[in-house]
Amino acid sequence: MPRRSTASPPDPSLNLRRDANVVGADEYPRYDNVRITTAIEASDHLDTVVERLTAMVGAPRPRAFTLTFTGSTPHEDTAPTSFVVTALTLDSALQTLAVLPTWGKWLESAGTEDPVHLPQQSHEGLPAHDRFTDLRGEQHPALTPSSTSRPAGTVIGSRPASAAATAAARTSR
C-alpha cells in the first residue's frame, strides 16, 4: 500500500460534485458514494498502521513496580515501607503483592490489616532509595539464585582424614 500523508487533501472527485461548497440534490448519491469509499480506504490504511505497530512493539513485558505503604495511620516517626514486584500495571502490581506471603508477614508485624497505600510514592521502576523489600524472587522462585542447586564440586587429591583416624595415627607412633 502506498504511503499517504495524514494531511492529504480530500479526493478530487468529491469537489466535482460540489457547487459553491454545496452538493446538489442530483449529485448527492454519487458524492456520498465517493465520500464513503474514501472513508473506508482511510480506515483500512489506519488498520494496517495499527497492525504494523502492534507487530513492532509486541506484547507488553512485565516490569518492576514500587509500592509504598505505611501502617493503618501514617505517623511522622514511622518510615513507609516499599515493596518491589513484577507486573504489567500498577493495579496488577497491587493485586500481585496482596497474594505474596511476605506481604502477609509484613501486615502481621505492622499490626494492621488495613495499611495506607501511598500512591505518590508508588511508581514503575525501582525506588530511588536503597531501602525496599524486593519480592520479585518470591514471585518467581525458579529464577532466584538461592533456589537453584549448585553442582557438586570436584575433589582433587585425597580427602581429609577423620578426627578418629588422625588421633589413632598419633598414638601409634
pLDDT digits (tens, 9 = 90+) for 19-41: 555 666 777 788 888 888 888 88
Q: Are 66 and 84 in contact (CB under 8 A)?
A: yes
The phi, psi pair for 58, rounded to 5°, reads 80, -175
- The per-residue pLDDT for range 111-147, each reduced to its tens digit, is 877 889 999 999 999 998 888 999 999 987 544 334 3
Q: How far apart are CA 95 and CA 112, in angstroms?
A: 18
* C-beta separation of 83 from 135 below 8 A: yes
Residue 103, pLDDT score:
93
**Top-confidence residue, 124 or 56:** 124
pLDDT at 67 over 80: yes
Residue 1: helix, strand or coil by DSSP?
coil
Mean pLDDT of 153-167: 37
Distance of alpha carbon 84 from alpha carbon 66, whole angstroms: 5
Domain range list for the chain: 12-57, 63-147
Contact (CB, 8 A) for 70 and 119: no
The larger pLDDT score, comparing residue 28 to residue 65, is at 65
